[in-house]
């Protein structure tokens, strides 16, 4: 178990909490010490929920270890049922509670609770959060689904009915899950398809009972729902739509697959996205070939690489994921783009890879946002784990045609703003843009007194001048002021690479003082 300041995934019981918190009338009794209640903050602070997650902790302490911790669990479970009256309960242990080897499921069976109790075996020292969410959802579906439920006849008393689908995979703390559900539900409605249920998010145990009434399933988030979908295929003979509709091309393929499974004609005029038009326009040409490094969960990383390469014309220079269960998919995609796959949950390794690849844009998680900030690179978040700013109040899906618009805005704007910053840097010595020019060059405000002498102090006929900015001091690394000034003219998103290449060139050639000429000699050397 790796101890670190940052982690991409929490322990598997946090995944179980994500499933439970997304559902209604389900309660999670977690055998855990007092300190594990920190998990509440994930939902109340980061996701900004207006109520606590439906989790009861036993909160045993060190002094309880010499007593009957099993009785503590039974008391907590009984109190939770009496207080919340859930339709079903899930029970399990945290990583710490695993060590004392109590049996939450066996204990719950002795209590005679008047609702289904679903045991969770979540090995905290070998598995992580996404696996825990997947296993929890699978166990809930397998336990509660009524195997006698079947889809309604295609033709009833009122004529042919609309096909019905289950949307599976969205959870609490999921990256834009709630917005994706809205967008995909709208898209299915336009296709003439009804949503039988959304699960786990928004569903109850009673809803899970009727999961077999749908004609087919849509696996929106394979990390969460792939295992449950596979079981539903075997048990109910429900087909699964596996295309994840992230990006224009993937959304079109999603529509085609859904219509094929539902037995409907594929419409030709549903595309409302602007990204396809813009990416073909003359205004987009300066983005062609931009180097992008992508890292996140497997599904979002692979989808992002496709959008970046096929729809925006970027060059993928790095691709990886932190969840090893999807390593095969990421390796296949990396081979397609000619890059070495990075399968790791070590953010320091990710930082080294980003620095070595020298991208112009980073697409990643909250961790990569921090990394890019340190490296002075533009960044857009595409995957969990994320912080509060990636749970916006506005509608901001990642999936569907509207999701493609959001991707376009989110990814292109950092580069556009970077161009603007570069232009400002290029013209910073212009008399109109210097600090001495005051707050505006339009005449609405006068120059600050610190930069311009009062008119009474100027000799008659004397022309006021703006002093040249002082040269930058020499750097500790042996750079002259002239060389640093020239380095500053390079666009910020490749400035770090230029500096590193120059310093490497100087080291290899025995140059102790880096001048302006050294900078250009290094440029010529590495351009060969």
Average pLDDT, whole number, for the chain? Answer: 84
Q: pLDDT at residue 390 above 60?
A: yes
Domain 12-127 identical in fold to domain 481-526: no
**Least confidently predicted of 12-16, 51-55, 295-299, 305-309:** 51-55
The answer to whether residues 376 and 496 touch, using CB atoms and an 8 Å cutoff, is: yes
Query: Domains of the chain: which residue ranges?
Result: 12-127, 155-262, 275-424, 481-526
The CATH fold of domain 12-127: Rossmann fold (3.40.50)
Q: Which of 68, 146, 283, 430 is catalytic?
A: 283
pLDDT in tens, 290-346: 999 999 999 999 999 999 999 988 999 999 999 999 999 999 999 999 999 999 999
CA distances from 360 to 158, 377, 485 (A): 58, 7, 21
pLDDT in tens, 468-519: 444 444 444 689 989 988 888 776 667 777 888 899 899 999 999 999 999 8
Q: In a 3-state reduction of DSSP, which class is residue 24?
A: coil
* 69 CB-side CA count, 13 A: 25
Tell me the average pLDDT across 405-424. Answer: 72
In this predicted structure, what is the pLDDT of residue 195?
97
pLDDT in tens, 353-365: 999 999 999 999 9
The answer to whether residues 382 and 244 touch, using CB atoms and an 8 Å cutoff, is: no
Whole-angstrom distance, CA of residue 404 vs CA of residue 482? 45
Q: Percent of the chain at pLDDT above 90?
A: 56
Q: Say if residue 125 is exposed, middle or buried (CB neighbours under 10 Å; 0-12, 13-18, 19+).
A: exposed
In this predicted structure, what is the pLDDT of residue 365?
96
Chain centroid to CA 216: 27
Return the CATH class of domain 481-526: mainly alpha
Chain centroid to CA 447: 46
In this predicted structure, what is the pLDDT of residue 492?
63
Q: Percent of the chain at pLDDT above 70?
A: 81
pLDDT-derived band at 447, boundaries 50, 70, 90 = very low
Higher pLDDT pick, 250 / 455: 250
Architecture of the structural domain at 275-424: 3-Layer(aba) Sandwich (3.40)
pLDDT-derived band at 155, boundaries 50, 70, 90 = confident
For residue 283, indicate whether it is catalytic.
yes
**DSSP alpha helix (H) spans, 121-218:** 129-144, 177-191, 205-209
CA distances from 106 to 111, 141, 202 (A): 9, 20, 29
Architecture of the structural domain at 155-262: 3-Layer(aba) Sandwich (3.40)
Tell me the average pLDDT across 249-259. Answer: 95
Pairing of strands 164-168, 194-199: parallel
In this predicted structure, what is the pLDDT of residue 82?
94
């Amino acid at each position: 178990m790796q101890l670190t300041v940052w982690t991409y995934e929490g322990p598997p019981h946090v995944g179980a909490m994500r499933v439970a918190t997304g559902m209604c009338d389900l309660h999670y009794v977690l055998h855990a010490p007092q300190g594990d209640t920190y998990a509440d903050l994930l939902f109340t602070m980061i996701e900004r929920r207006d109520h606590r997650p439906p989790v009861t902790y036993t909160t045993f302490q060190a002094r309880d270890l010499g007593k009957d911790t099993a009785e503590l669990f039974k008391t907590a479970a009984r109190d939770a049922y009496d207080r919340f009256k859930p339709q079903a309960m899930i029970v399990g242990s945290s990583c710490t509670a695993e060590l004392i080897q109590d049996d939450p499921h066996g204990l719950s069976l002795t209590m005679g609770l008047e609702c289904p109790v679903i045991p969770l075996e979540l090995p905290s020292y070998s598995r992580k959060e996404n696996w825990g969410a997947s296993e929890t959802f699978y166990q809930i579906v397998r336990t509660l689904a009524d195997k006698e439920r079947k889809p309604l006849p295609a033709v009833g008393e009122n004529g042919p009915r609309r096909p019905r689908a289950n949307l599976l995979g969205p959870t609490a703390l999921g990256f834009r899950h709630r917005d994706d559900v809205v967008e995909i539900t709208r898209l299915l409605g336009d296709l003439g398809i009804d949503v039988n249920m959304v699960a786990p998010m928004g569903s109850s145990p009673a809803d899970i009972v009727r999961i077999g009434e749908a004609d087919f399933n849509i696996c929106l988030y394979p990390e969460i729902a792939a295992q449950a979908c596979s079981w539903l295929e075997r048990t109910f003979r429900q087909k699964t739509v596996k295309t994840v509709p992230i990006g224009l091309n993937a959304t079109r393929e999603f529509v085609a697959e859904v219509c094929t499974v539902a037995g409907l004609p594929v419409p030709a005029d549903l595309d409302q996205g602007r990204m396809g038009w813009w990416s073909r326009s003359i205004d987009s040409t300066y983005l062609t070939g931009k180097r992008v490094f992508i890292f996140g969960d497997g599904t979002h990383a692979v989808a992002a690489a496709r959008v970046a390469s096929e729809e925006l014309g970027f060059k993928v220079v790095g691709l990886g994921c932190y969840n090893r269960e999807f390593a095969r998919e990421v390796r296949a995609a990396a081979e397609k783009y000619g890059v070495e796959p990075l399968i790791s949950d070590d953010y320091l390794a990710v930082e080294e890879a980003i620095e070595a690849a020298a991208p112009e844009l980073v697409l990643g998680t909250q961790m990569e946002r921090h990394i890019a900030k340190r490296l002075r690179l533009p960044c857009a978040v595409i995957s969990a784990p994320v912080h509060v700013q990636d749970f916006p109040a506005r509608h901001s899906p990642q999936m569907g045609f509207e999701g493609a618009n959001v991707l376009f805005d989110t990814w292109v704007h950092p580069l556009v703003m970077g161009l603007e910053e570069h232009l400002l840097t290029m013209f910073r010595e212009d008399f109109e843009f210097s600090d001495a020019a005051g707050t505006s060059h339009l005449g609405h405000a006068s120059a600050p007194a610190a930069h311009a002498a009062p008119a009474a102090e100027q000799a008659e006929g004397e022309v006021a001048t703006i002093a040249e900015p002082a040269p930058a001091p020499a750097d500790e690394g042996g750079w002259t002021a002239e060389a640093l000034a020239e380095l500053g003219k390079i666009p910020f998103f490749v400035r770090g690479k230029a500096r590193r290449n120059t310093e490497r060139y100087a080291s290899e050639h025995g140059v102790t003082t880096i001048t302006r000429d050294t900078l250009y000699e290094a440029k010529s050397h590495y351009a060969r």
